[in-house]
Amino acid sequence: MDRQDEDPVLRAKYRDYCSARVADALLALSPDEVYTLARSEARATGQVPPERFSDSISLATGKIRERLNLPEFDEWVRLYRMDPEAFEPFLMGFWESEEPADPVHSRESGPPEAGGDAED
């Protein structure tokens, strides 16, 4: 087994990358286009066409993921390792919140000190 399968940071970055690509594509659609895509997907999968916009988003998201033809994790890791900077514009930063906590090397300094400049 390749060590990349065990790397939680790479997994988190992959999820972040895929989420960002889907979100960008979804946000590029008008509400009417989202409904149209969702109705089309509902017909194709034998589901009832959605009435609520949130249901339309769910159906449209699945179709968008399909259309984007996102790479599988192993392929993404291979490409990412060749040129990580090429992927940076597509990462939203969510992967940072998924990193395992490391109390020794934590990037957070802890709670603010009492008596700081906070406004009441």
What is the tens place of the pLDDT at every residue in 54-112? 999 999 998 898 899 899 999 999 999 999 888 887 787 756 655 444 433 333 433 33
What does the DSSP assignment read for 58-95? HHHHHHHHHHHTPPPHHHHHHHHHH-HHHHGGG--SHH
Name the phi and psi angles at 102, rounded to 5. -125, 100
Is the predicted pLDDT of residue 12 greater than 70, yes or no? yes
Closest among 72, 21, 60 to 80, alpha carbons compared: 72
pLDDT score for 38? 93
At 45, which helix (H) or strand (E)?
A: helix 31-45
CB-CB neighbours of 81 under 10 Å: 10
Q: What is the pTM of this model?
A: 0.66
Percent of residues, the chain, with pLDDT higher than 90: 44
Closest among 43, 20, 5 to 92, alpha carbons compared: 20
Q: What is the mean pLDDT of the chain?
A: 78
Please say whether the beta carbons of 15 and 88 come within 8 A: no
